[in-house]
Structure 1
Amino acid sequence: MAAPKVPRVIVKKKGAERLNESADAAPYQELLQSLYDGVLITDATGRIMDVNERAMDFLLYTKDELSRLNIINIIAGANEVLLEALRRNIEQHRYTLIEASCIRKDHTTFPAEIATNRLVLTPEGHLCFFVRNITKRKKAEEALKQTVTRLKEMDLSKSRFVANVSHELRTPLTIINTFVALVNDGVAGTVSDQQKECLETVLRNCERLAGLIDDVLDLGRIESGREEFRRGRVNFTDLLKQCHHDFIPQCLLHHQQFNLEMPETLPDALCDRDKIAQVLTNLVGNANKFTPEEGVITLRAVQENEVIRIDIEDTGPGIRPEDQSRIFEAFIQLARTEDNTGSKGTGLGLAISKHIIDIHEGIIQVESIPEKGSRFFFTLPIHTEEKNLDAFITDRMRFMEARDRQLAMLVLQVAAPSAPGGTPASKEAAERLRTLAMEALDCTAEQTFLFEASQALIVLLDGTEQTRDGVAARLQLTLGKQRQAIMDGIRMAYLEPTRARTPREWLTQALALLKPLPIGPVETTPLRVLIVDDDASILNLMVRVLHECGAGLDLKSTTSGYDACIHFGEWNPDLVVLDLHLPDIDGKRVFDSMTKRLPHRTTKFLVVSGYRGDIDEIMQLGCDDSLCKPFDFDEFVMKVKRLLNLDSQPLGAAAKVANPT
């Protein structure tokens, strides 16, 4: 006979009694009630066995009411899966902290931080939930978040305002500079020496204002992330020699000695060449400005472990110690002279330099002793392929995020013919794949990186617009058109946009996801070629040769210029072979008529004529290629195939077209 079912509330009450009887009740309750957090003790199934006063205050329940509930009823969104995960973590001695909402008796909620642990007061053990009300903290975090957002918006508005004003100043400044220069050159009449002096003062200040505008715009772009950085391998020895060469005339003009000190060979640096050249120009230019006549400026470079250190040292008046900590702030013009006068610069050069070096993950600092000179120095990482890859991805991420775009990563790898899907193929095959991928995806070389360690081609795309299927289809179409296979197997991985991964983690995951990309012969519409020539025999010969060249072309021919224009409009050929001397209309007019119909022209034009002057004239109008009669048919077929992006296959026997009489 089955045992009678015991009501749940009685079982729970007995469990609670056992819990309190299992230890000295007074110390246990005293400890429980003294805790700052709300405490709920449950059995293994989550049924609440005991609570403290703090928990009842939080949840607005009485102790008896809570004894009828499960912890799942208290934590919003909790279920058996969560409870099982908590039990498993406790069994494995792993600390668990949950941030969730707790549900009060009146169905309102409050944000809470909930820590879980095991409580062993009885043989079966219990779960202990420590609940902390974090409403005040959440309100403070939200207020802080809103404040930060407002400050960012204000800073962005300031930057936009300054940038807009700077742009607006360019036009009137250019007009002022141009007309003052014209007057100064005597275009508007004779200028006296006194007038010339005044005009040259205006021109100098126009130049200074133009420099200020450029610096403001540079700083705004760098601060906002909208300035594109392209770090890569740079021959730093050449860069330093170029800087030294550029400043020699200016130093000689000021009777200064300018020294370049560096070892015979320096390792290549990982940097954006143009940006670091800008830093060198700022620092050496400042040294030139503040160093007196007969002074010495030294540009020095040495390798220190994994970085290159560059020093720019001068024998100028130096910088006061209290000013050195502020010297890299924007719009700061600090005194460097005994009479406490500052420079007449924009106060932005050093701020821009610091931003540039920070992005290069280097350091820039100043050391100075008043009356003895200053030394500015900065560091740059030495180039390695791994660092270059990280920089390639990081630079593109920063640039895209500043434009509220997301980056997607495409990874392609060519398998060696002997081991498809396994060992990577040669660098030559990977380079060939790079060219084809750029063609297929309409991207630039700056968006690609060939990681030699694994012969993997990395292409960074705008993931906001691209999809994996679309990218794969475009690659398959371009690669499938190749008449000679460049490889036996291509593997591909495409990672959707993400901002969560580091560059190296992103690539590691992509390499792990490489899968074969089927590249078989694709079903494509035959390429269309329209041939127009006034000589029927030559026309027929060109048609026959192209039929026999093995390219599978769809051909149409005519001797009439008017008919050619009609065929062009109805048929939309990929290539037009056009004789410039036609019986009914001049070939140049035919070319003009056809190209005007194509604002975004994709049709190629190969013009044919017996007169070189006509060919030179039409080539200047944008024609793609030409042939002068008489010509070899091998050359004719080669040009047709090249214009259609097909492999050239010489016919062997060279026929010639006669020069027209």
Structure 2
Amino acid sequence: MFKSATVKLTGWYLVILMVISLLFSVAIYQLNFQEINLRLENLQQGITNSRMMRSRVNQPGVSPADRSISPNSFQQEQDQLRLDQSHQAAVQMILALVYINIFVLIAGGFGSYFLARRTLGPIEKSHEAQSRFTSDASHELRTPLAAMKAELEVSLRDEKLTPEEAREQLESNLEEVNKLISLSEMLLKMARLDYDKLEKKHINLVEMLPSVMKPFAKYKKRFDITTRKSAMLVGNEAAIMELMNILIENAIKYSPERSRISIRIFERRTMTGFEIKNTGTPIHPEKLPHIFDRFYRADTSRTESGKNGYGLGLAIAKKITDIHHGYIQASSTEKETSFTCYLPNIRNITAKIQDPSL
């Protein structure tokens, strides 16, 4: 679809370019041809006047017949010469304009294709991401729904179903419903991050950390926390809290029980950093570049969905950092896995305001 759209857009760009080029060529030809004719007429008039003046001068040893020049014959010769010169000049201009337009056609074709690809590139990427997102979301929604349907059909066919079994069946269905609710909430978060403009204010990341850690109070003995006295940045408080929450939850989920988790808040030039490290199974180097993709999971097995989640958490984390003009990176070795996000701090914002070029 986008290939044909690129060809069509290239064609339209080229048509517009060639129409403009041809119009300019016609205008240039007419102006130059009129200028050449005018100059030749002036030159012819000057030569005619000069020859006629010389014909009136008596020259010794030359007969009157030789001194006299037929005005009509001379005028015809001059007119023919002017027409020949005009024709040659016209041919030369036409050839030059043809060559120029051929060059414009070739160069414009490549340029038009480049511009068409550049114009449609972001749209194509967005369309592909949306299609992939829809496909993956449909798959994730279908899995719990299929499980619920199968369990309910089995229960309805069982005429000897006891109240205890029915209760167990309802609890299982409730678990699947909770998974669907969790998935729908994450999908809504992604949609809001894609289309909403978040309100930003001054935030102290160090003061925010205790509020972020409250949901993980039962794991507090596992954390080693290192912070500055203050780490100010400009951002949306709810989004930044969600970002930190995702990274902490991810570290807990994929690290052995009772293992240590390191959290560090620091500043590096004009960026404030939030780093979290945990031990556990390392992420394969080939999979590391894709862990921030939507619905991507380093463990592709779907049999442990309760542990692996839906593969949206890190995608949301990256989206939050992108919205705040920051970036997030991950590294993984046999010893530890670390995630570090960098967000512009107050000095960064002030520098951009003071520097008109930024």
Q: Does 1:222 align with 2:183?
A: no
Q: Following the alignment from structure 1 to structure 2, what is the Cα–Cα distance between the partners of residues 504 and 330? A: 36
**Partner of residue 344, structure 2:** 381
TM-score (norm 2): 0.59
Q: Secondary structure at the match of 1:325?
A: helix
TM-score (norm 1): 0.34
**Partner of residue 366, structure 1:** 330
Equivalent residue in structure 2 for 1:199, among 167, 170, 189: 170
Note the alpha carbon deviations across 1:39-93, whole angstroms, 9 max, x for none.
Answer: xxxxxxxxxxxxxxxxxxxxxx985206679xxxx9xxxxxxxxxxxxxxxxxxx
**Partner of residue 247, structure 1:** 216
Question: Offset at 1:278?
Answer: 0.9
Equivalent residue in structure 1 for 2:233, among 251, 256, 269: 269
**Partner of residue 325, structure 1:** 289
Question: Offset at 1:138?
Answer: 4.3
Question: Offset at 1:333?
Answer: 0.8
| Maintained 8 Å contact 1:271/1:360 | yes
How many pairs are equivalent? Answer: 263
**Partner of residue 89, structure 2:** 64
Q: Higher RCO, 1 or 2 (CA under 8 Å, sep at least 6)?
A: 2
Q: Following the alignment from structure 2 to structure 1, what is the Cα–Cα distance between the partners of residues 324 and 130? A: 27
Question: Offset at 1:258?
Answer: 2.1
Is the alpha carbon distance of 1:204 and 1:307 closer, same or farther for their aligned partners in structure 2, counting shifts above 3 Å? same
Question: Offset at 1:330?
Answer: 1.3
| Maintained 8 Å contact 2:261/2:276 | yes
| Maintained 8 Å contact 1:9/1:68 | no
Question: Which of 1 and 2 has greater Rg?
Answer: 2
Is the alpha carbon distance of 1:277 and 1:283 closer, same or farther for their aligned partners in structure 2, counting shifts above 3 Å? same
Question: Offset at 1:152?
Answer: 5.8
**Partner of residue 603, structure 1:** none
Is the alpha carbon distance of 1:218 and 1:66 closer, same or farther for their aligned partners in structure 2, counting shifts above 3 Å? farther
| Maintained 8 Å contact 2:276/2:339 | yes
- Which runs of structure 2 are paired with 1:239-638 in the superposition (5 Å)? 239-249=208-218, 251=219, 257-263=222-228, 265-335=229-299, 343-370=307-334, 372-384=335-347, 386-387=349-350
**Partner of residue 211, structure 1:** 182
Which has more helix, going by share of residues? 2
Q: Secondary structure at the match of 1:295?
A: coil
Q: Following the alignment from structure 2 to structure 1, what is the Cα–Cα distance between the partners of residues 111 and 87? A: 27
Question: Offset at 1:362?
Answer: 1.7
Question: Offset at 1:134?
Answer: 2.4
Note the alpha carbon deviations across 1:562-605, whole angstroms, 9 max, x for none.
Answer: xxxxxxxxxxxxxxxxxxxxxxxxxxxxxxxxxxxxxxxxxxxx
Question: Offset at 1:311?
Answer: 0.9
**Partner of residue 131, structure 2:** 158
Q: Following the alignment from structure 1 to structure 2, what is the Cα–Cα distance between the partners of residues 260 and 215? A: 28
Q: Following the alignment from structure 1 to structure 2, what is the Cα–Cα distance between the partners of residues 344 and 368? A: 17
Q: Following the alignment from structure 1 to structure 2, what is the Cα–Cα distance between the partners of residues 227 and 151? A: 21
Is the alpha carbon distance of 1:12 and 1:161 closer, same or farther for their aligned partners in structure 2, counting shifts above 3 Å? farther
Q: Structure 1: 5+ residue runs without aligned partners?
A: 1-5, 15-60, 75-101, 114-131, 181-189, 391-452, 454-502, 507-661
Note the alpha carbon deviations across 1:507-530, whole angstroms, 9 max, x for none.
Answer: xxxxxxxxxxxxxxxxxxxxxxxx
| Maintained 8 Å contact 1:233/1:388 | no
Which has more strand, going by share of residues? 1
Is the alpha carbon distance of 1:388 and 1:10 closer, same or farther for their aligned partners in structure 2, counting shifts above 3 Å? closer
| Maintained 8 Å contact 2:133/2:294 | no
Question: Offset at 1:377?
Answer: 0.8
Corresponding letter in the other structure for 2:124: L
| Maintained 8 Å contact 1:323/1:334 | yes
- The percent of aligned pairs where both chains have the same amino acid is 21
Note the alpha carbon deviations across 1:391-447, whole angstroms, 9 max, x for none.
Answer: xxxxxxxxxxxxxxxxxxxxxxxxxxxxxxxxxxxxxxxxxxxxxxxxxxxxxxxxx
Q: Following the alignment from structure 1 to structure 2, what is the Cα–Cα distance between the partners of residues 257 and 276? A: 22
